[in-house]
Structure 1
């Protein structure tokens, strides 16, 4: 009913014409150019291609080292978020299963503790500015220690007295 009244009214016809003139090119541009050229993703998060790790980069290849460092920092963020999710799951379980939470949430606690241990093995003691090179050196030193003294945390191997 309002459209019929606007079409009879000269002001209404003028406003409809102005709206059509302004709206038609915008709609045409979006439907014929923007939407066909927009790529659609079947996943929610952005996927980055994996680049060579720091041990695969040459010492004078700064670009490769930078890409490896950026990938390391992205991996650290993902691992930190996974650890946070596991911790929140355990906390939710303990709140939900209040009287018997130690028995019912034992699996989640073990999973969280193992993930926290692995996170600390890889990223612990690096600090806020630690990067891929520092983590690689930490891993190398840990492997050397384990070769000489056994697994970390098991105590040092007893050496036989030299005669």
Structure 2
């Protein structure tokens, strides 16, 4: 039997609530996530500032060796596939993602509809040990299920 993570990319990420938006925003995208009811699947639509739209089906699973390690699998969808899957029941989360670049470090800061700022520091396959000092952190929420996208969609933060 093939390894269950054969097609997944393992990422190490930590999440933080922020008091303020850091300087250095290089790009901002609009994201609509649809968490399909009864599954661990997410439909994501990302709109770039130039109007380009990317749609994908994702599967994100926390690994047992720590909540900051996540196995991610994505499938890019064409319009017909998107239309079929979008018809499935789901909870929706809309957010604005700010891509911040300071001193060679990239941080994604999601601005939720209520103004909450949620930063994600991604270390790729390596654990995130250093949190950028320029982030105005309220607290770390990596281990808090309430701050996952699926939980925020269920809570309807709009």
Q: Name the TM tier (shorter chain).
A: under 0.3
> What is the TM-score normalised by the length of structure 1?
0.19
> What is the TM-score normalised by the length of structure 2?
0.19
